[in-house]
Amino acid sequence: LQKSLNEIFGADKYSRARKEVLTYMFSRPMQMALYFCTGVMEDETLFRHYALNVPFYTHFTSPIRRYADIIVHRLLSASLGANSPIKMEKEEIQRQAEHCNDRKMASKRVQELSGDLFFSIFVRVRA
């Protein structure tokens, strides 16, 4: 798919923008990852990563980027014995995860609407 996209975009001043918008639109249907606290989830099949085909998975990035990543770093550090456990009950961790999911969804929606707007303008200009 990526090779096909690279071949059809042309070399005008909008080619990079067209590629980014259409690539984003093609990836939109993919299921979005959600944060959750494993301590409140009974179904362990929810812990797996479909694309990587692993039964247990956690993901995090630099803890300077997102609050959820700070929590994950602290929990992993405590589970490895490097730091003391965080002083949050599992229900509070789940509430924080849900809040992070809500904010991530809102951000994604704004991004989608922005892409839709750009695409509409692109179609209007090209028509």
Q: Model confidence at 66, in pLDDT bands (50, 70, 90)? A: confident
Task: Give per-residue pLDDT as tens, 79-126.
Answer: 899 999 889 999 999 999 999 899 989 988 998 899 889 889 988 888
Question: Are 73 and 60 spatial neighbours (Cβ–Cβ below 8 Å)?
Answer: yes
Give me the pLDDT at residue 5, please: 67
- Please determine, for residue 10, whether its predicted confidence score (pLDDT) is greater than 80: no
Structure tokens that stand for 48 in this block: 């797996």
Give me the pLDDT at residue 33, please: 77
Give me the pLDDT at residue 57, please: 81
Give me the pLDDT at residue 93, please: 92
The model's pTM is 0.63
Structure tokens that stand for 93 in this block: 């961790």
How far apart, in whole angstroms, are the C-alpha atoms of residue 55 and residue 47?
6
How far apart, in whole angstroms, are the C-alpha atoms of residue 111 and residue 50?
25
Task: Give per-residue pLDDT as tens, 29-60.
Answer: 666 778 888 888 888 887 887 777 888 888 77
End-to-end CA distance of the chain: 25
Give me the pLDDT at residue 70, please: 86
Q: For the purposes of burial, counting CB atoms within 10 Å of the CB of 119, is it exposed (0-12), middle (13-18) or buried (19 or more)?
A: middle
